[in-house]
Amino acid sequence: MISWENLYHVLSNVVPLYVVMILAYSSVKWWKIFTPDECLGVNRFVALFAAPFLSIKFISNNNPYAMNYQFIAADTLQKVVVMLILFLWCKLSSRGSLEWCITLFSLSTLTNTLVMGIPLLEGMYGENPSKSLMVQLSVIQFTVWFPCLLFLFEYRRATLLVPQKCCENNEIVVNGNGSLGSFRNGGSLGFDEETRIGVGEASLPIESSEINEANRRGNENLTNDGHDHDHRGNTNPKGSTLIELGTRSMMVDQVHPETVAQLEPKPKETIPAGVATRLILIMVCKKLIRNPNFYSSVIALIWSLISFRWHVQIPAIVDNSIKILSDAGLGMAMFSLGLFMASQPRIIAGGNASAALAAAMRFLVGPGITVATSYIVGLRGTLLQITIMQAALPQAIVPFIFAREYNVHPGFLSAAISFGMLISLPIALVYYILLGLIIK
């Protein structure tokens, strides 16, 4: 049974994080210190600086040749099973979506092994092997699963940015003498300006040379100087043609048919699936290559392989530089969480229903699947208990930073972290007692 000394050790690691979160919450809610843009800046600092250096610290100091691969296999299989279930739910259910797959994957698989896992399981099962296993699990999360999470976030954003359909959004009014008139919203265009007509989320440039050509052809085909009045009371040349472009119209005085054909809206077209997929993957790869969280893990893993193979020590200057930024990681992540919570109408974003769903995914679904995958790979005894216990730890903090950066259900994850860390200790004690009675 966990002693009072070990319990105090757990609280000494958890309570300071809540102090940081409360200070951040107060600085926005009551003291009005930070603006919304500054809050986003804090989160970006954590996402692009603190989190990558935190991963470098743990990966580079872990011996990759002395890992418990059976324990890692059970954890990996659990995450693969969850990902497969969510993928099938997304494809087969009308309620399934990529956004919810990403969020539910984070909730049910990515645990807080550093802040809660190490002190809690060390107090329950001793420093050896629990601390070593939690460090190994953290390394796998930083090396494999956080980059996978980033890939899903970037893939989702790319599917929104790559235009699937082409459609005209703007219309221009062309006067009867062939010159460009005004937009219906009152704006005006000069001949030296490049006109852009929206096409989906992109835009279609019309160069000034094309405009001059349209003007020239319009003057050549002008056949009548008489004027009619349009329905708005404006004077327009007799025989002028009304061309609709989206929500605006264009008055053209019997210009050349080829010019009219160029100005008329084209039928909506869909980008071929193969082309769209290629564009999406190219965009995702370019984004990931420039993301420090992606290549920092690769660099740290390569260094650890070299360091522990040939016993090469990292220079003290580099090591201390990494330590300064990595130490800011968890604290600034909780500070960003407090800033976000202060910007929401309620402390627990989404209400009690969201908190209940997050707790169920975190403390029931994740451990339940872990029981099955652990038995499959042959874990038994104390090692099996530790594997199930780590699956019942509260939500990891770094996925919230990514969700906030990409704006994918950050409120849901904030509720899972703040509420989950409060109830995690009594839940962990219940799991510890039950596992001690069932598993020998």
pLDDT of residue 344: 86
Q: Tokens 């996978």 identify what position?
A: 148
pLDDT of residue 261: 54
Q: Tokens 């190994």 identify what position?
A: 136
Strand intervals (E) in 241-347: 241-245, 248-252
Q: How far apart are CA 268 and CA 249, in angstroms?
A: 18
pLDDT of residue 199: 35
What single DSSP character describes residue 111? B
Distance between start and end Cα atoms, the chain: 15
Q: Mind listing the pLDDT tens digit for each residue in 337-346?
A: 999 999 888 7
What single DSSP character describes residue 204? E
Alpha helices in 93-142 (DSSP H): 98-109, 118-125, 127-140
Q: What is the pTM of this model?
A: 0.74
pLDDT of residue 310: 94
Q: How far apart are CA 14 and CA 133, in angstroms?
A: 20
pLDDT of residue 350: 66
Q: How far apart are CA 312 and CA 305, in angstroms?
A: 10
pLDDT of residue 358: 85
pLDDT of residue 146: 94
Q: How far is CA 167 from CA 159, 260, 262, 375, in A?
A: 17, 17, 14, 55
Q: How far is CA 139 from CA 70, 301, 335, in A?
A: 15, 9, 23
Contact 148, 110 (CB under 8 A): no
Contact 423, 391 (CB under 8 A): no
**Measured over all CA atoms, what is the biggest interatomic distance in the chain, rounded to whole angstroms?**
100
pLDDT of residue 265: 53
Dihedral sign for Cα 391, 392, 397, 401, please: positive
pLDDT of residue 144: 93
Q: Which residues of the chain have pLDDT under 50?
A: 164-212, 214-215, 217-219, 221-250, 252-253, 255, 260
pLDDT of residue 305: 94
Q: How far is CA 332 from CA 14, 39, 43, 166, 343, in A?
A: 14, 11, 8, 43, 17
Contact 405, 422 (CB under 8 A): no
Contact 108, 394 (CB under 8 A): no
Sequence ranges of the domains in the chain = 4-162+274-438, 164-270
Q: Mind listing the pLDDT tens digit for each residue in 91-142?
A: 898 888 999 999 999 999 999 998 888 888 988 888 888 888 999 999 999 9
Run of H or E including 188: none
Domain 4-162+274-438 classified CATH 1.20.1530.20?
yes
